Structure 1
Amino acid sequence: MKIPEKYMEFTFSSPISECIEKFIAQQRAIGFVFNDQSKHLRSFDRFVSTQNCPPNTLPKELVNMWIDSRPNEKPTTQRKRANLIKQLGQFMVKNGYEAYIPPITVTRAIPPDYIPYIYTNEELARFFTATDNLPRSSASNRSLAAPVFFRMLYGCGLRESEGRKLRVRDVDLEKGTLAINATKLGKSRLIPMAPSLLQRCRDYSRQVHKHSNPDDFFFAPSKGGMYSRGAFLRMFHESLRKAKIPYGGKGKGPRMHDMRHTFAVHCLRKWSQNSTDITTAFPYLAVYMGHCDLRSSQYYLRLTSELFEHITDSLNEQFSDVIPKAGDVYENN
């Protein structure tokens, strides 16, 4: 991964310039380069300077003016702009400033028509073999990180951002647990690992973290910091090619996030095949995956019943009243 030699520096002069500078400093302190975001925040700073804004305050009217849709603008562009200001607002509130935080309906992506790609056991085996054989380099940790990272996404049902943000202190190599903090929904959870995954984490840690601090990122490039999503995405696509799993392109998948979907579906499939009382077990899946409520997990019931027709009767018998229909809105799981 190419590491910038230095950060891009910008000058801020609006009534909230101090908050913006502190926000950028915090993001860089935890490992983000944050150059593109800083550039966008400079534009926002200039906009704020033209408004009658009280010092160190982010009024609702000002925020709405900035994140409002613009002519010929794609929804994704507007959403990125809104998300950045939402993060700034959350930072300000956390530090005692008054700020308006846009609601999730503004910053959340519209549920896509994309149907998650559920890997077969054979495809998973080929994929993990491919990650185990990525080219090794003394100047990079990628061949060490990729086999553990992708097994963790599938084996623990993590979001890729949760895996990337793990710190050394979050991976308990004695108890075999992962502490997932500061998640997408602001919920923390403790996840047990399978013995095989735990052993891989121990082997990886012995090679990479001989002199690391507890606050260092668990999946860290050789030069330190945190791997970007793009870095793991490149490893993912390379592994797909080596495993001979066709990639349909952006928006068509398979995606890294589909590892998480596959974990949930395979879990439900196993429970159904073993005649497990899914009514009792299902809430545990929601908690394990960090969903805010059962509704966020119900999507997997439909997906499981559609992909594995032989267990549809079993699922319908217990969950016919909660299995959502195709096209229903659901949280981006």
Structure 2
Amino acid sequence: MSADRFISSFAADLEEYLGFKEQMGFYGYSRIVYLQRFDAYCTSHSLRVFNRATVEGWVSSELDRSATSRSWMSYIRDFGRWMRAHRDPDAYVLSDRWKAGFTRTRPYLLTSSEIERFFTAAVRVEAASPWAWQAVGFFSLMHCCGLRTGEARRLLASQVDLDLRQIEIIDSKARRSRRLPITEEVVAVLAACDQASRSRFGPREPFFISSTGAPVNPSSVGVIFNRIWDQAGLPRPTGGRQPQPYAFRHHFAYANLQRWMKDGTDVTAMLPYLARYMGHATFDSTYYYIHTSPDFLDSYADVVAASQGMLPEVGFE
């Protein structure tokens, strides 16, 4: 990228900070866009000190432009942490009071029996499309690797290395990327899926494919999930939380937490690995899964409190 993308008195710091993020595997374009806005603000106001007035002045100006989302605040907050660690111990870190409050909905919690019956039905799902042979592989990645639905949909054949037993998730949420190891069982499932797709379509770019050779679309994932669920004879709640594909990602998270708790493993020590594996920008997203299962809410009541201030954030968010 151009060396003059920043022109304020913080230009050199911003460039070095982005280099640090890239070394950590974070290449998000939106981060650059918002930091360029911050840079332009500092230039127009002749600001040279990274203090509260500078940071909150820019944040206020951005909120005047659009108050629909505050996720971009993590970029300037993270840059403040980097500045404090590498440049100025008095650098200002944006206060959490700027975070917008919101209430997360509780997910549908899959049981072991539901998962077993689902995959038993997925093997013989009635579908005229490639879902007939790729449904097991698609939902196995969500269940065994905690992938987001979109990450599985956008997975390319070139990003699946069955010999090295790993997959590459490129430019996912907030343009973050990560490499994930997969088990021999998952390798076997993906190998069968790949062989069937190759015999039908030949070499292809998407790993999971539609009847037209394009990547599968979001609506088809929900359709095939519901079809498998119904063919498995699984009941549906009459109200409240409903089963959906994303429930596999939730299950991956809290099943690991339960396993660590059962084995006596230090959960606070393992959370950074779980956050990195799942592609979370901060531990806030990972902490959420601590509260998804009523079976161990009380057991984990002190995990978040004990973890705050102890765990390094993965790549400074």
Q: TM-score, normalised by structure 1?
A: 0.60
Whole-angstrom CA distance in 2 between matches of 1:157 and 1:258: 9
Whole-angstrom CA distance in 1 between matches of 2:303 and 2:183: 28
Match of 2:270 in 1: 281
Contact 2:254 2:292 in 1 (8 A): yes
Relative contact order higher in (CA < 8 Å, ≥ 6 apart): 2
Please give the per-residue CA displacement for 1:148-171, whole angstroms capped at 9, x wherever unaligned: 101111110000000000000011
Whole-angstrom CA distance in 1 between matches of 2:296 and 2:139: 24
Whole-angstrom CA distance in 2 between matches of 1:319 and 1:161: 28
1:195: how far off?
Answer: 1.1
1:203: how far off?
Answer: 1.1
Which one of 119, 122, 125 corresponds to residue 113 of structure 2? 122
Q: Secondary structure at the match of 2:292?
A: helix
Letter of the aligned partner of 1:275 in structure 2? G
Alignment CA distance shift 1:302-1:107 (3 Å): closer
The answer to whether residue 108 in structure 2 is matched with residue 144 in structure 1 is no
Which one of 273, 291, 296 corresponds to residue 308 of structure 1? 296
Alignment CA distance shift 1:110-1:161 (3 Å): farther
Alignment CA distance shift 1:104-1:192 (3 Å): farther
Match of 1:134 in 2: 125
Contact 2:167 2:182 in 1 (8 A): yes
Alignment CA distance shift 1:206-1:282 (3 Å): same
Please, which runs of 5 or more residues in structure 2 have no aligned partner? 1-28, 34-61, 73-99, 309-317
**Paired residues for 1:207-218 under 5 Å:** 207-210=196-199, 212-213=202-203, 216-218=205-207
1:251: how far off?
Answer: 7.3
Contact 1:179 1:188 in 2 (8 A): yes
Alignment CA distance shift 1:288-1:114 (3 Å): same
Which one of 248, 252, 267 corresponds to residue 259 of structure 1? 248
Letter of the aligned partner of 1:105 in structure 2? S
Letter of the aligned partner of 1:131 in structure 2? A
Q: Secondary structure at the match of 1:105?
A: coil
Please, which runs of 5 or more residues in structure 1 have no aligned partner? 1-88, 94-99, 324-333
Letter of the aligned partner of 1:130 in structure 2? A
Letter of the aligned partner of 2:109 in structure 1? I
Contact 1:114 1:251 in 2 (8 A): no
Contact 1:117 1:262 in 2 (8 A): no
Whole-angstrom CA distance in 1 between matches of 2:101 and 2:137: 31
Whole-angstrom CA distance in 2 between matches of 1:291 and 1:322: 16
Please give the per-residue CA displacement for 1:31-69, whole angstroms capped at 9, x wherever unaligned: xxxxxxxxxxxxxxxxxxxxxxxxxxxxxxxxxxxxxxx
1:258: how far off?
Answer: 1.2
Identical aligned pairs, as a percentage? 27
1:320: how far off?
Answer: 3.6
Match of 1:224 in 2: 213
1:114: how far off?
Answer: 2.6
1:243: how far off?
Answer: 2.3
Please give the per-residue CA displacement for 1:76-114, whole angstroms capped at 9, x wherever unaligned: xxxxxxxxxxxxx97xx7xxxxxx996771799995553
Contact 2:287 2:304 in 1 (8 A): no
Which one of 149, 152, 157 corresponds to residue 160 of structure 1? 149
Whole-angstrom CA distance in 2 between matches of 1:103 and 1:288: 31
Match of 2:176 in 1: 187
Letter of the aligned partner of 1:186 in structure 2? R
Whole-angstrom CA distance in 1 between matches of 2:241 and 2:234: 13
The answer to whether residue 93 in structure 2 is matched with residue 105 in structure 1 is no
Whole-angstrom CA distance in 2 between matches of 1:103 and 1:128: 43
Whole-angstrom CA distance in 2 between matches of 1:205 and 1:103: 45
Which one of 166, 169, 181 corresponds to residue 177 of structure 1? 166
Letter of the aligned partner of 2:119 in structure 1? F
Contact 2:125 2:231 in 1 (8 A): no
Whole-angstrom CA distance in 1 between matches of 2:116 and 2:137: 14
Q: TM-score, normalised by structure 2?
A: 0.62
Whole-angstrom CA distance in 2 between matches of 1:248 and 1:156: 26
Aligned length: 223
Match of 2:230 in 1: 241
Alignment CA distance shift 1:246-1:170 (3 Å): same
Whole-angstrom CA distance in 2 between matches of 1:298 and 1:107: 17
Whole-angstrom CA distance in 1 between matches of 2:177 and 2:279: 8
